[in-house]
Amino acid sequence: MPFADTTQMLHAAQAGGYAVGAFNAENMEMAQAIVLAAQEARAPVILQTTPSTLRYADPQLYWSNVQALAQRASVPVALHLDHGNSFELCAQALRAGYTSVMIDGSTLPLVQNIALTREVVRMCAANGVPVEGELGRVGGKEDDLECSETGYTDPDEAERFEVETGVSSLAVGVGTAHGVYAVPPVLNIELIDRIRQRLRIPLVLHGASGLEEKVIRECVRQGICKVNFATELRAAYTLAVRRMLAENPDIIDPKIYGRAGRDAVKERVLHRIRVCGCAGRA
């Protein structure tokens, strides 16, 4: 089927009390794995690429891969720019055909974050493309983004941000971090509900790789409508490839170890789809 609209996806999740899984794809095999898992679970799904991924290959190439998979899929598939770090990159993703973009101005002062986000919203609105913003810092390191501190989202600022930017969804800071957790984080889950009561737009949780199932489920119960997974997919893919090559050192065909990586990512995505509660929601 054609690419799906992420606004419709997330508003359906908001109304239905579940979250849509959003999964970062680094290559064709990971994109295949994500769509295969979504089909098996009968779930809507969002594939994402980050700025460093789009330096590895341009947005049009990733769009072509995911568009080909979406056309053959029987479930809604969307393609999202994750952590867009500039107006220019958002424009590139928009021109390539991405179905939604994120502009991450969370490291900027509030007024500058609002101004940058508002400009991206204006650009994308002419094409009917929704925009995700971020308010409150998600700590850790992912892609080009590195933050040593976690900043919690202020509900008052979140309400102002929604009104002044016109964003379609908002990533909030509640104690998660990008990358691998050395120890399980303690999240301010109650803050999600406080923000949800002040905003109309769907809320997004970043830094979910490695979180316990019960924590993710509670975040969804409190109002999270989209959950991002990246690091744990990279780890699953890499570990499967390493294992295959260690056990079969004579392999020279990338398709063989690529298949092992794809299978590992598919199982991980399938598990997280069920945790988010979006299985059977396609």
Report the share of the chain in percent with pLDDT over 70. Answer: 93
Q: Where are the domains of the chain?
A: 6-276
Quick check: is 193 catalytic? no
Cα–Cα distances (Å) from 268 to 105, 195, 252, in that order, read 30, 30, 26
Q: Rounded to the nearest 10 degrees, what angle do helices 254-276 and 213-222 cross at?
A: 50
Is this model's pTM higher than 0.75 or not? yes
- Model confidence at 1, pLDDT cuts 50, 70, 90, reads confident
Q: What pLDDT, on the 0 to 100 scale, is given for residue 213? A: 95
Radius of gyration of the chain (CA): 18
Residue 137 pLDDT exceeds 90 = no
| Residue 206 labelled as part of a binding site | yes
The pLDDT, as a whole number, for residue 19 is 98
What pLDDT was estimated at residue 150? Answer: 60
Amino acid at 80: H
84 marked ligand binding residue: no
**138 — pLDDT class (breaks 50, 70, 90):** low
The pLDDT, as a whole number, for residue 148 is: 46
Residue 231 annotated in ligand binding: yes
Catalytic residue among 82, 156, 193, 250: 82
Q: Hunting for tokens 């050192």 — which residue is that?
A: 249
The annotation status of 179 as a binding-site residue, yes or no, is yes
Task: Compute the distance between CA of residue 234 and CA of residue 46 in angstroms, rounded to an integer.
Answer: 16
Cα–Cα distance measured from residue 149 to residue 195, given in angstroms and rounded to the nearest whole number: 20
What rounded mean pLDDT belongs to the chain? 94
- The annotation status of 19 as a binding-site residue, yes or no, is no
**Nearest residue to 134 (alpha-carbon basis) of 169, 89, 183:** 169
Tell whether residue 258 is among the known ligand binding residues: no
Using a pLDDT cut of 90, give the percent of the chain over it.
89
Known binding residue 83? Answer is: yes
Q: Which helix (H) or strand (E) holds 120?
A: helix 110-125
Strands 203-205 vs 131-135: parallel, antiparallel or unpaired: unpaired
Gap between the Cα atoms of 119 and 113, Å rounded: 10
Q: How confident is the model at residue 140 (pLDDT cuts 50, 70, 90)?
A: very low
DSSP 131-200: EEEEES--EEEETTEEESS--PPPHHHHHHHHHHH--SEEEE-SS-EES--SS-----HHHHHHHHHH-S
According to CATH, what is the number of the domain 6-276?
3.20.20.70
Q: Which of 169, 140, 135 is nearest to 154 (CA)?
A: 135
**What pLDDT digit, counting tens, does each position of 60-91 carry?**
999 999 999 999 999 999 999 999 999 999 99
Band (50; pLDDT cuts 50, 70, 90): very high
Residue 146: what pLDDT? 52
Dihedral sign (CA 21, 22, 27, 32): positive
pLDDT tens per residue, range 210-253:
899 999 999 999 999 999 999 999 999 999 999 999 999 999 99
Known binder of ligand: residue 209? yes
**pLDDT for 149:** 55
Per the annotation, does 105 bind a ligand? no
The pair of structure tokens assigned to 136 is 């409150």
At residue 53, the pLDDT reads 96
User: pLDDT digit string (tens) for 168-225?
Assistant: 999 999 988 766 666 678 899 999 999 999 999 999 999 999 899 999 999 999 999 9
CA-CA-CA-CA torsion for 132, 133, 136, 142, nearest 10 degrees? Answer: 70
Residue pLDDT, tens place only, 268-281: 999 999 999 999 99
Which residues lie closer than 8 Å to 1 by C-beta, 6 or more apart?
70, 71, 73, 74, 75, 76, 77
